[in-house]
């Protein structure tokens, strides 16, 4: 390889860097390094003049490699790669030394900081000398999308995509569409009927020529990578159970949640006390239009208990988000159905964050609901009332706002059961290759900036499979996911970043140690050649395989051993 | 090929002698060798003195095969002589190549070794505290013995080496190949490894391989092994994946894990560290304590992973800046 | 003046490197003894990187990744977790003190924690004195 | 031991005027603004909570409603329109009815009609009684008001005294029983610390102080209401004393006896000012404390006004020498005064006694508590000293 021509550009970042680091000294030290043609300092390298300075130097000195010593690469790597591209350099022939976040901002001792900045710059220079020009790849994008789950999220996403003019396969495990929402009567806070929300969508999905609905079906395997997946689905829809495989480009995971099993909290007596019901059982009462105890009387006293399974140490730490408003809905519905019934509402904190929810809460209290606050991690205890008492059950609890230990009369108790990850979530996560958090919810690629994508390209999550959510948020997510996919399809072919792992076949011995290590199953074993190889498009460049390959046959592009070791040498020489 | 016979020297440094035996193991080929070459110096086989060697002109020899590591001043002296006298110096066998078994001594210290052998040894007569000295005055005259070095070196640590022939010992076929190559004058670029493959051992290993996950490691005697299946997958240690091929899969074919005598594959810097990384990666657990337990099944792992390559390890080889 | 240890840090891009950056943006000071190399994931860190750093004169090596369960690549940090104990075992055999290499989990929000770890490790290494690896090597190569 | 909540209580309290309690979600703004909400008293939040939860016993033993002078700040600050001030007012009404063993208070508060009926009845009885006396035992001469010119007055002061003393003592008795009940409920409640007889004596002086000054009211943001109330109340007490002990000189005319009349005029002024201020306030709903008026409030003020007005007219007619007119007015005056007095132990009136008592009890309780706390801290303090 011919001696590289490296340009080093040191940023003062106003005075952010230069007030601690002697940038001039760094420049002089850089000039004497092997391959360095020119070294310059500037006030703001990221500014337009700064970037033009780089371009000019590239032309003037015929530089073929660039080092910028400035802020964190997480801040401006993109910017400077752009500058390099503009100057006709391959963006990967560029390296950054982080002398702001990890130097000038954390060190006060000028000589020491300058020494460190010099070392970091040297490391970057040594490394860039071994960088290689990299080019991305492209692959085709299959327009079909697989939607997992026929709840409100799945239905919405499917419609959105189908309206966009692309084929959708909607796979639903159960025998009907609608999901959990189909079990709900009215929805808070505007009290519109869940049935109305659903039926319209379901019929549209059923009729839509772009949508294939498969009930009684589940995904069995998913192979390939974004734009080029192959799904194997086992279905009992229609005639005899059969397994079918088809190609697709993207997946929307909308598998929803399951309700918390109330019997796990023994002192609520659910399943033993006849008039203790879960929110879903109560929804059934509401839909039948009869709010009554098991022996058919209207309740004189009703009690609603929040956070059943949520926000507690022994079950789930998180908030299930929809129960508070639903509870208020129940309070109002009971009041209007049985006006002389006294409703008490046992909550930990009233979470009324949504649009229109605070007013809803106020209305709840105006309906003369008795709000009682109980402590996190301590549960009310429900027991049968002594004979001759004017109520069925007594609920005992330490009331937080009064500091009193109190006893509440109740003929009917509604448990607001929280949401939890479905029993099959781990299986699904494994199938489509996405991760779960400690509670089993699917993890988004970025909690704030990329909430519907996952770390696996082409796999999107929507609705309550990602975390508890109310209907508006769920629908919003479903549409967002669909939108992302439509945009992806519209772009036609997919570009694949130049940074990925590749197997050097002349070195691969086919030991297959790397095969199991890839979190994205991007490594395939060719049993013909007895060699492993990496599907570039599926690779995320974590480099696990490269570090593990015992014969150094796997190369992590842009993070090769040579490049990293050159950095080590640079830091320490 | 010119009439002039090939001028050859063989030497045995800090080693077991197996490499010399390997040369002899080429059977009648040794005789052909004798036909084709003048064996100018070969302590194990032909009589000769260092002075003869010193007497030679620089470059007078065509080929010198140096087996064994450099452990003391004598080894180094001869190494330097052979380097000077020979056009081609070959580090022959694992010890010369990587330090080999003697190299394991570098995991302890010279003082410990001397103490164990000369001071703590139960077979010593009580009170005898004698330690070997380079020079000892004996009635008027003085006796000299080579200085025992602080550590063991690869041949390439003390002299410039032209070619490396790995193996403990190198396979006879390989020995032939090398000699023929030299005779025929068709040699690869200097400093390359002769007579071995360009991939890891698994490439030649006939055992069936699949995806690997190990929950427990076994010593060979602890488990009934499936002779068809990859040893690592059965939890039996095998350096094969991190070892250069070329030996003919000697150990795995005899139901024994590879020990790594052929050294690291071409692109590997540190055989032991590489193997470590690969092996740990396939441990099938996410729980720190369980991981510790599983790895506890690998006693004295350093000596295993670096059995032949301690002096060649990153931590001990000379780093040319 | 007391010996100033040199620490080489290998930080994963998604959690720990971001965490170190956060220490910067929130101006949390820590000793300048550490110099960081960014890798995409702690699973990319080859034991060879660590031994190479020690051989080239580092007095300590700090490896940081996402907390278990939080890996950007879902399981990379577990690979680092598996390699580390074995690596320590080997280094011990080579006479490298255990405190010289350290594996820590630092999330993107743990700038404070990163600073504390670096400060603490620097202190330990100061007390421990310079690493003998490089010195011994050079000495042995010059005169036997 | 768990206390049973009574979800019905909140509905019950509505009749006493507490309409919006359930809106409260306990942000605590009210207690933050209330000048009286200091350890160990949480005003008005705690009472609000007891009420919401229907903890009847706790509520009954609660002194806090009496510590509130209804400046209205809390209601101003409340983000949920829970009207804490009005709730405290209603609680005072409710407490009054709890203290009253006759149950009349409760009856009157729950139904203004009942109250008015009762008042009318008492008024008619009074009229009948007085007429009977005047004609049968008295001189029967409507035109003779007092003993001037050696004529026997239609209603001699001595006779009046028979009435008012009898009445006064009767009602006082009733009131004392209620006071005893109040003491039992509050000072013997689960929460109240035990208070030594010595302490009772030590602080006894608080009773007259608060009775005459209501000085704590002055701590409220706005002091006008306090001043007005003070005038009203002093005027009222003065008038009571005059009538009870100086009736002769008061009635003797037509010449003006400044040594007594001076007081009479002052008292009347105070009464008029106070009553009119309150009436205007309630009519205009100017202050939040006047925004909500319970039926009993109107009756109270109306009756008071009647008493004062008839008193003034009586005075004039008498001084101008219209004997007959004076006597008739006097009858009317009495028809107002007697019912007025009759309400004494049962309704708003009685706060005259309950409030100072509450102040007194509260002082006792907080002292007992703080000393108890100090008692606990002692060892720690010693340890620190050592």
Considering the domain architecture, whether residues B92 and B155 belong to the same structural domain is answered as: yes
CATH number, domain with residue C118: 3.40.50
Q: Does residue A26 carry a pLDDT above 70?
A: yes
Do the Cβ atoms of A182 and A194 come closer than 8 Å? yes
Nearest alpha carbon to residue A484 among A121, A310, A226, A272: A226
Nearest alpha carbon to residue C32 among A114, D36, A37, D129: A114
| Cis before D44? omega within 30 | yes
Considering the domain architecture, whether residues B130 and B177 belong to the same structural domain is answered as: no
CB contact under 8 A, B273 and C89: no
| Cis before A461? omega within 30 | no
The last residue of a domain, from among B193, B225, B260: B193
Q: Which residues contact D234 (CB under 8 A, 6 or more apart)?
A: D212, D267, D270
Nearest alpha carbon to residue B291 among B205, B214, B236, B202: B214
Q: Which residues contact A447 (CB under 8 A, 6 or more apart)?
A: none
pLDDT for position D130: 87
Do the Cβ atoms of D220 and D71 come closer than 8 Å? yes
pLDDT for position D378: 46
Considering the domain architecture, whether residues B70 and B167 belong to the same structural domain is answered as: yes
Specify the 3-state DSSP secondary structure of A453.
strand
Closest alpha carbon within chain B to C95:
B107
Considering the domain architecture, whether residues B221 and B245 belong to the same structural domain is answered as: yes
Question: E-strand spans in chain C?
Answer: 7-12, 34-39, 60-65, 101-105
B66 or A361, greater pLDDT? B66
Which domains can be identified in chain D, with CATH numbers? 9-99 (1.10.1060.10), 104-367 (no CATH)
B298-302 average pLDDT score: 93
DSSP B5: P
Q: Does residue D227 carry a pLDDT above 70?
A: yes
| Average per-residue pLDDT for chain B | 92
In the block, tokens 């309150």 appear at: D278
Considering the domain architecture, whether residues B67 and B167 belong to the same structural domain is answered as: yes
Indicate the CATH number for domain A497-557: 3.30.70.20
Q: Does residue A414 carry a pLDDT above 90?
A: yes
Any idea which of A239-253, A548-562, B31-45, D261-275 has the lowest mean pLDDT? B31-45
- What residues of A are in contact with residue D21 (Cβ under 8 Å)? none
ipTM exceeds 0.85, yes or no: no
Indicate the CATH number for domain A145-256+422-490: 3.50.50.60
Domain that holds residue C69: 7-142
Asked if the structure places residue C12 within a domain, the reply is: yes
- What residues of D are in contact with residue A344 (Cβ under 8 Å)? 5, 7
Q: Diameter of chain A by CA atoms?
A: 100
CA triple B86-B87-B88, angle to 5 deg: 90
Pick the CATH number of A260-418 from 1.10.10.410, 3.50.50.60, 3.40.50.2300, 3.30.360.10: 3.50.50.60
Whether D57 contacts chain A with CB within 8 A? no
pLDDT for position D123: 93
Grade residue A508 by pLDDT with cuts at 50, 70 and 90: very high
Other C-beta atoms closer than 10 Å to the C-beta of D249 total: 15
Grade residue A561 by pLDDT with cuts at 50, 70 and 90: very high
D59-86 average pLDDT score: 92
Domain that holds residue B45: 6-102+150-193
Closest alpha carbon within chain B to C94:
B107
Grade residue B31 by pLDDT with cuts at 50, 70 and 90: confident
Considering the domain architecture, whether residues B117 and B252 belong to the same structural domain is answered as: no
Asked if the structure places residue B177 within a domain, the reply is: yes
pLDDT for position B305: 97
Considering the domain architecture, whether residues B122 and B78 belong to the same structural domain is answered as: no
Do the Cβ atoms of A155 and A201 come closer than 8 Å? yes
Asked if the structure places residue C92 within a domain, the reply is: yes
CB contact under 8 A, B211 and A512: yes
pLDDT for position A30: 97
d(CA D191, CA D361): 13
Grade residue D380 by pLDDT with cuts at 50, 70 and 90: very low
Q: Does residue C87 carry a pLDDT above 80?
A: yes
How many domains does chain C contain in total? 1
Asked if the structure places residue B34 within a domain, the reply is: yes
What are A402's two structure tokens?
């009064």
What are C135's two structure tokens?
């010195």
Distances (CA, A) of A510 to A389, A557, B201: 78, 20, 10
Secondary structure in 3-state letters for A153-203: HHHHHHHHHHHCCCCEEEECCCCCCCHHHHHCCEECCCCEEHHHHHHHHHH
d(CA D60, CA A30): 85
Asked if the structure places residue C1 within a domain, the reply is: no
Interfacial residues of A (vs B; Cβ cutoff 8 Å): 504, 506-513, 515-517, 525, 530, 544, 547-553, 561, 573
pLDDT in tens, A266-285: 999 999 999 999 999 999 99
B308-317 average pLDDT score: 93
A6-33 average pLDDT score: 97
Domain edges within chain A: 6-134, 145-256+422-490, 260-418, 497-557
Asked if the structure places residue B155 within a domain, the reply is: yes
A166-183 average pLDDT score: 96
Considering the domain architecture, whether residues B27 and B95 belong to the same structural domain is answered as: yes
Considering the domain architecture, whether residues B128 and B245 belong to the same structural domain is answered as: no
Asked if the structure places residue B108 within a domain, the reply is: no
pTM above 0.90, yes or no: no
pLDDT for position B321: 37
CATH 3.40.50 fits A6-134, yes or no: yes
Grade residue A402 by pLDDT with cuts at 50, 70 and 90: confident
CB contact under 8 A, C79 and A547: yes
Considering the domain architecture, whether residues B77 and B23 belong to the same structural domain is answered as: yes
Query: B198: distance to nearest CA of chain A, Å?
Result: 7
Considering the domain architecture, whether residues B26 and B47 belong to the same structural domain is answered as: yes
C63-68 average pLDDT score: 96
d(CA D90, CA D205): 29
Nearest by CB to residue C48, choosing from B285, B314, B318, is B314
Asked if the structure places residue C2 within a domain, the reply is: no
pLDDT in tens, A28-72: 999 999 999 999 999 999 999 999 999 999 999 999 999 999 999
How many domains does chain B contain in total? 3
d(CA A189, CA A352): 10
Other C-beta atoms closer than 10 Å to the C-beta of A114 total: 23
Asked if the structure places residue B321 within a domain, the reply is: no
Closest alpha carbon within chain B to C83:
B280
D34-59 average pLDDT score: 91
pLDDT in tens, B86-145: 999 999 999 999 999 999 999 999 999 999 999 988 888 888 888 888 898 888 899 999
| Most trustworthy range by pLDDT among A492-496, B286-290, D378-382 | B286-290
Specify the 3-state DSSP secondary structure of A285.
helix
pLDDT for position D379: 45
Backbone angles phi, psi at B14, to 5 degrees: -75, 95
Asked if the structure places residue C90 within a domain, the reply is: yes
Other C-beta atoms closer than 10 Å to the C-beta of A318 total: 17
- What residues of A are in contact with residue C32 (Cβ under 8 Å)? 103, 106-107, 109, 112-113, 115-116
């Amino acid at each position: 390889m011919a001696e590289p021509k490296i340009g080093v550009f040191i940023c003062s970042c106003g005075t952010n860097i230069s007030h601690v680091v002697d940038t001039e000294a760094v420049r002089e030290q850089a000039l004497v390094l092997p391959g360095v043609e020119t070294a310059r300092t500037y006030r703001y390298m990221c500014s337009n003049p700064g970037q033009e300075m780089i371009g000019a130097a590239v032309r003037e000195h015929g530089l073929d490699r660039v080092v910028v010593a400035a802020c964190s690469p997480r801040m401006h790597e993109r910017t400077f790669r752009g500058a390099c591209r503009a100057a006709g350099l391959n963006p990967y022939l560029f390296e950054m030394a982080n002398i702001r976040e990890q130097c000038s901002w954390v060190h006060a001792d000028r000589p020491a900081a300058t020494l460190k900045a010099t070392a970091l710059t040297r490391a970057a220079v040594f490394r860039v000398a071994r960088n290689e020009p990299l080019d991305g790849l492209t692959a085709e994008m299959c327009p079909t999308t697989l939607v997992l789950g026929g709840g409100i999220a799945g239905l919405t996403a499917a419609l959105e995509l189908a309206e966009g003019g692309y084929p959708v396969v909607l796979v639903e495990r159960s025998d009907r569409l609608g999901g959990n929402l189909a079990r709900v009567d009215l929805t808070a806070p505007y009290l519109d009927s869940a049935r109305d929300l659903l039926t319209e969508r379901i019929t549209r999905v059923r009729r839509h020529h772009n949508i294939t609905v498969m009930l009684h079906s589940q995904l069995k395997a998913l192979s390939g990578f974004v734009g080029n997946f192959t799904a194997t689905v086992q279905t009992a829809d229609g005639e005899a159970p059969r397994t079918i495989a088809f190609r697709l480009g993207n997946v929307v995971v909308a598998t929803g949640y399951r309700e918390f099993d109330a019997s796990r909290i023994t002192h609520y007596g659910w399943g033993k006390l006849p008039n203790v019901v879960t929110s879903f059982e109560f929804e059934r009462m509401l839909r039948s239009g009869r709010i009554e105890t098991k022996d058919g009387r209207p309740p004189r006293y009703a009690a609603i208990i929040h956070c059943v399974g949520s926000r507690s140490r022994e079950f789930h730490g998180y908030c299930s988000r929809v129960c508070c408003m639903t509870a208020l809905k129940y309070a109002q519905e009971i009041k209007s159905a049985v006006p002389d019934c006294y409703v008490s509402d046992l909550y930990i904190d009233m979470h009324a964050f949504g649009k229109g929810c605070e007013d809803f809460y106020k209305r709840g209290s105006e309906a003369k609901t008795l709000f009682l606050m109980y402590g996190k991690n301590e549960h009310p205890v429900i027991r049968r009332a002594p004979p001759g008492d004017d109520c069925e059950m007594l609920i005992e609890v330490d009331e937080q706002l009064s500091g009193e230990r109190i006893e509440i009369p109740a003929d009917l108790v509604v448990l607001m059961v929280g949401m939890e990850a479905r029993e099959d979530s781990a299986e699904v996560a494994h199938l489509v290759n996405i991760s779960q958090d400690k509670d089993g919810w699917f993890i988004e690629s970025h909690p704030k900036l990329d909430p519907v994508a996952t770390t696996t390209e082409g796999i999107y999550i929507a609705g309550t499979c990602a975390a508890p959510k109310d209907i508006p948020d769920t629908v919003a997510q479903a549409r967002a996911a669909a939108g992302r996919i439509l945009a992806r399809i519209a772009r036609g072919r997919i570009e694949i970043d130049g940074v990925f792992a590749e197997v050097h076949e002349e070195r691969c011995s086919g030991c297959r140690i790397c095969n199991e290590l890839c979190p994205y199953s991007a490594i395939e074993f060719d049993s013909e050649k007895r060699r492993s190889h990496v599907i570039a498009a599926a690779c995320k460049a974590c480099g696990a395989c490269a570090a593990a390959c015992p014969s150094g046959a796997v190369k992590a592009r842009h993070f090769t051993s040579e490049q990293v070791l050159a950095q080590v040498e640079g830091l320490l020489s | 090929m010119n009439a002039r016979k090939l001028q050859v020297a063989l030497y045995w440094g800090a080693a077991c002698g197996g490499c010399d035996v390997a040369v002899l193991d080429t059977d009648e080929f040794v005789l052909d060798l004798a036909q084709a070459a003048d064996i100018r110096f070969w302590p194990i086989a032909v009589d000769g003195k260092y002075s003869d060697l010193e007497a030679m002109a620089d470059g007078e020899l065509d080929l010198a095969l140096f087996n064994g590591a450099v452990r003391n001043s004598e080894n180094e002296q001869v190494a330097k002589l052979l380097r000077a006298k020979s056009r081609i110096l070959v580090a022959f066998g694992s010890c010369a190549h990587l330090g080999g078994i003697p190299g394991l001594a570098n995991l302890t210290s010279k003082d410990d070794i001397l103490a164990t052998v000369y001071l703590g040894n139960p077979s010593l007569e009580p009170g005898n505290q004698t330690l070997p000295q380079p020079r000892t005055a004996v009635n008027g005259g003085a006796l000299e013995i080579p200085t025992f070095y602080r550590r063991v070196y690869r041949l390439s640590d003390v002299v410039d080496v032209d070619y490396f022939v790995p193996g403990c010992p190198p396979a006879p076929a390989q020995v032939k190949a090398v000699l023929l190559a030299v005779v025929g004058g068709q040699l690869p670029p200097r400093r390359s490894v002769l007579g071995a493959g360009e991939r890891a051992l698994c490439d030649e290993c006939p055992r069936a391989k699949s995806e690997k996950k190990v929950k427990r490691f076994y010593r060979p005697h602890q488990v009934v092994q499936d002779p068809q299946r990859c040893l690592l997958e059965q939890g039996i240690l095998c350096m094969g994946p991190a070892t250069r091929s070329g030996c003919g899969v000697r150990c795995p074919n005899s139901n024994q894990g590879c020990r790594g005598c052929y050294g690291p594959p071409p692109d590997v810097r540190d055989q032991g560290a590489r193997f470590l990384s690969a092996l740990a990666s396939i441990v099938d657990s996410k729980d720190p304590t369980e991981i510790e337990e599983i790895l506890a099944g690998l006693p004295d792992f350093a000596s295993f992973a670096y059995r032949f390559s301690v002096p060649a390890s990153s931590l001990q080889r000379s780093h040319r800046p | 003046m007391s010996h100033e240890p040199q620490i080489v840090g290998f930080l994963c891009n998604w959690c720990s490197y971001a965490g170190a950056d956060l220490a910067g943006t929130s101006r949390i000071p820590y000793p300048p003894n550490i110099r960081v190399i960014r890798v995409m994931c702690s699973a990319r860190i080859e034991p060879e990187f660590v031994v190479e750093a020690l051989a080239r004169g580092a007095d300590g090596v700090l490896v940081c990744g996402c907390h278990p369960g939080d890996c950007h690549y879902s399981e990379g940090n577990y690979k680092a977790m598996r390699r580390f104990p074995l690596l320590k075992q080997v280094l011990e055999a080579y006479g490298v003190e255990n405190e010289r290499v350290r594996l820590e989990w630092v999330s993107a929000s743990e700038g404070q924690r990163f600073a504390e770890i670096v400060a603490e490790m620097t202190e330990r290494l100061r007390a421990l004195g310079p690493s003998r690896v490089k010195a011994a090597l050079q000495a042995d190569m010059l005169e036997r | 031991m768990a206390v049973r909540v009574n979800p019905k209580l909140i509905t019950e309290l509505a009749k006493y005027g507490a309409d919006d309690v359930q809106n409260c979600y306990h942000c605590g703004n009210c207690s933050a603004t209330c000048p009286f909400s200091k350890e160990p008293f949480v005003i008005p939040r705690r009472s609000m909570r007891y009420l919401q939860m229907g903890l009847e016993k706790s509520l009954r033993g609660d002194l806090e409603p009496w510590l509130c002078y209804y400046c209205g700040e809390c209601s101003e600050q409340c983000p949920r329109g829970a009207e804490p001030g009005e709730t405290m007012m209603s609680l005072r009404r409710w407490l009054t009815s709890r203290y009253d063993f006759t149950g009349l208070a409760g009856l009157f508060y729950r139904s203004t009609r009942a109250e008015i009926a009762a008042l009318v009845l008492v008024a008619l009885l009074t009229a009948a009684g007085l007429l009977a006396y005047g004609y049968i035992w008295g001189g029967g001469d409507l035109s003779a008001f007092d003993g001037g010119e050696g004529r026997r007055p239609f209603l001699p002061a001595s006779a009046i005294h028979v009435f008012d003393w009898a009445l006064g003592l009767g009602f006082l008795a009733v009131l004392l029983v209620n006071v005893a009940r109040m003491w039992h409920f509050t000072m013997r409640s689960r929460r109240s610390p035990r208070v030594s007889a010595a302490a009772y004596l030590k602080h006894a002086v608080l009773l007259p102080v608060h009775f005459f000054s209501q000085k704590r009211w002055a701590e409220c943001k706005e002091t006008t209401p306090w001043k007005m109330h003070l005038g009203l109340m002093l005027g009222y007490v003065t008038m009571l004393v005059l009538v009870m002990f100086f009736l002769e000189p008061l009635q003797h005319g037509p010449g003006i006896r400044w040594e007594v009349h001076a007081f009479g005029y002052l008292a009347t002024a105070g009464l008029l000012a106070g009553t009119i201020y309150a009436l205007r306030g309630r009519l205009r709903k100017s202050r939040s404390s006047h925004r909500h008026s319970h039926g009993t409030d109107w009756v109270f003020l109306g009756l008071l006004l009647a008493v004062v007005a008839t008193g003034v007219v009586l005075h004039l007619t008498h001084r101008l020498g219209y004997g007959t007119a004076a006597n008739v007015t006097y009858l009317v005056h009495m028809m107002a005064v007697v019912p007025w007095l009759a309400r004494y132990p049962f309704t708003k009136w009685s706060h005259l006694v309950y409030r100072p008592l509450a102040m007194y009890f509260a002082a006792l309780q907080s002292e007992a508590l703080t000393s108890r706390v100090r008692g606990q801290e002692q060892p720690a303090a010693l340890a620190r000293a050592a």
